[in-house]
Structure 1
Amino acid sequence: VRRESPSILHLNSPKASGLGAVVGRMLLTPKIMQTVHGWSFNENRNIFSRLLVYIFSWITVLLCDKTITISSSEKRQALKMPFVSDKKVTLIKNGIDKINYIDKHRVREALLLRTHRNMNDILKDTLWIGTISELHKNKGLKYMISALTEIKTPFVFFIIGEGEERENLKNLIRVKGLQNQVFLVGFIDIANLYLKAFDIFTLTSEKEGLPFSIMEAGGAGIPVIASNVGGIPDIIDNNRNGILVKRGSVPEIKKAIEYLSANPKIRSEFGKKLKEKVEKEFSVDRMTKKTFSLYK
């Protein structure tokens, strides 16, 4: 920071924001900003850890000239912090570019090939469910897998992503007897191109900011089942363009899957409405214009 001597310091992670804000103040940087991609104190931690993280986050907000939140709920949390006014906090939602999705038939064949299967192994009326997610505890994949054990409709569930929870999830899939229905696909570069494969997209996280994956699913016209956490309700209007479920609620996830499975017309309607909302409210152009306006 001393070498570059920037007039604006824009920080984008909890550690970088905390340390960067302190350094920026010491070096008299004219403007210091941070973007919060989900408050860390919302994570599933013990009460002492959450309190420490909250204090750290609060001090960082005070040190910064401007804090950008990406969801309405996180802005509300920031404004409840002591001595934090509306002038210090701005809501700028994430945005996505146009995506050239691969057509459904081709991408389904590609996914099956990665699991050493082909279309002949899948029943014609099988429900295709999928997610793009890090294999991390915060992503709540165990709730989704547990809910699927009670689904009677033929289905397959593809988890695109990699992470530290792979072995635990692999064991859970085995214990639940879902080895031929739930597949850990692993990391795929530009995974959003594969979204057209799915009839339903899920994100049953314990914590989120404003997830790109849901916007990208919306851009593909895919209905979404997701946890009612973080910025997800900014994208998903419950029972209008998707279904919101209580964090960690296996019964609610199961009920949502059964409902969309039994109502293909509703799936289509939800997907269409979500696509319209994403195109209208979550564009990269809109996001960048709002961000650059703060640099002036």
Structure 2
Amino acid sequence: MIKILYVITKSNWGGAQRYVYDIATSLDKEMFDAAVACGGNGLLATKLQEAGVRVIQIPFLQRDINIIKEFLSLFALFKIFRKERPDVIHLNSAKIGGLGAVAAYGLRIFCGWRPKVIFTAHGWGFNEDRPYLARVIIFLAQWISVIFCDFVICVSCAVFNQGMYFPFASKKLRLINLGIKSPDFLKHLEARHRLATLNKTNSLGKEFPSVWIGCIAELAKNKGLAYLIDAISILRTSDVQVLIIGDGEDYKKLQLQISNLQLQDKVFLLGFVPEASRYLKAFDMFVLPSITEAGAYVLHEAGFAGIPAVATKVGGIPYIIKDGENGFLVPPKNPEKLAEALKKLLGDENLRKIMGQKNYDLVSQKFSFEKMLRETIDIYNKVS
């Protein structure tokens, strides 16, 4: 039996957390003994415990940089690794990639225990909108992470191609595209009625906007939601409603922007909604205006829902959305181009149906969860 310890920085629910959950809960329990170490006690921890997967809390671990807490977290990881003695340590997220790789290396030096270390790159931190010097430091830190690992799984071609920039890293990189299980979608009208209750609009009726645009994203700068709100201001279309599902640090800032642009009857921040992907069939189209993005689970889910998507041409998105086929691609930070693309779909119901079907066909064929799981297990078997 192979003992695997998954490690991730935050236990809230996001793309990397879903990746860990899906794999950890799908392994054959007769072949693998899986546990997950994470910071905090969020939804990921709750769902894992409900699924019977052991969860280990990492004290002091947080996303923001704090030198003292980084050293405390590093020592905590070392103690966890020494106690658990896993055969494979599977790291997820940029910060834990660095801390975890160094802690595992310390285990080899001080304890003589040599676990294999795998790092899944869900994206590279140097792509984020930060000062140049900060991006250089992040690049160097992530390079060190890669050097200390045995294998690096890249979740998209974009992540893989950028990973090739790291010196001496090419032999460690493996491309395994994100794969998802199709969500258990609510039917169109049921999903609309439930979301209408959440956004406190009038009950569905003749006066209710005919076209719904959906977005599921963390309310954070890198998701580019401010540019989406600006794009809706440019459109000024009366028969459209934009529902943004998710929470995050930019909630108040985005709500103020909506108020200043007088879009309170057009754009709604619904906050966190459990199992948000189940509501995707409520929407006529999906939008993801990210400034940086690696694989975007939610675009795969929109494909399974059979709705077209408008998204930015960044990271791994162009490998999911083919411009003019299953949706439209636009430059990041460009509300004018985003508004143009949205307008094309808003005014053509037949085009929405054609692109939605193509989106379903592409995602269901290319991004299989079974394929992702099989290729990941192959790496576990190879290193054990």
Pick the TM interval, shorter chain.
over 0.9
Shift of 1:269: 1.1
Residue 227 (1) aligns with residue 312 (2): yes
Q: In structure 2, what is the equivalent of residue 20 of structure 1?
A: 100
Residue 117 (1) aligns with residue 201 (2): yes
Q: Following the alignment from structure 1 to structure 2, what is the Cα–Cα distance between the partners of residues 127 and 30?
A: 53
Q: In structure 1, what is the equivalent of residue 351 of structure 2?
A: 266
Of 85, 90, 101, the residue aligned with 1:10 is: 90
1:130-169 residue pairs with structure 2 within 5 A?
130-153=214-237, 154-169=239-254
Which structure 2 residue ranges, 5 or more long, are not aligned?
Answer: 1-80, 109-113
Q: Is the 8 A contact 2:196 2:204 kept in 1?
A: no
TM-score with structure 2 length normalisation?
A: 0.75
Shift of 1:186: 1.0
Q: Name the SS of the counterpart of 1:118 in structure 2.
A: coil
Q: Following the alignment from structure 1 to structure 2, what is the Cα–Cα distance between the partners of residues 112 and 118?
A: 7
Q: Which has the higher contact order (CA 8 A, sep 6+)?
A: 1
Which structure 1 residue ranges, 5 or more long, are not aligned?
Answer: none
Q: Is the 8 A contact 1:109 1:118 kept in 2?
A: no
Q: In structure 1, what is the equivalent of residue 181 of structure 2?
A: 97
Q: Name the SS of the counterpart of 1:82 in structure 2.
A: coil
- 1:124–1:27 CA distance, 2 compared to 1 (3 A): closer
Q: Following the alignment from structure 1 to structure 2, what is the Cα–Cα distance between the partners of residues 24 and 116?
A: 50
Q: Following the alignment from structure 2 to structure 1, what is the Cα–Cα distance between the partners of residues 169 and 183?
A: 38
Q: Following the alignment from structure 2 to structure 1, what is the Cα–Cα distance between the partners of residues 214 and 125?
A: 26
Runs of 4+ in structure 1 off by over 3 angstroms are 119-125
Encode CA deviations 1:123-177: one digit per residue, 9 max, x unaligned.
3662210101111111100101000112143210001111111110111001111
1:48-197 residue pairs with structure 2 within 5 A?
48-85=133-170, 87-120=171-204, 123=207, 126-153=210-237, 154-197=239-282
Shift of 1:184: 0.7
Shift of 1:256: 0.3
1:207-286 residue pairs with structure 2 within 5 A?
207-286=292-371
Q: Following the alignment from structure 1 to structure 2, what is the Cα–Cα distance between the partners of residues 41 and 138?
A: 12
Q: In structure 1, what is the equivalent of residue 42 of structure 2?
A: none
Encode CA deviations 1:37-84: one digit per residue, 9 max, x unaligned.
111110000000000000001111111111111111111111122222
- State percent identity of aligned pairs: 39
Aligned length: 295
- 1:217–1:15 CA distance, 2 compared to 1 (3 A): same
Of 40, 43, 47, the residue aligned with 2:128 is: 43
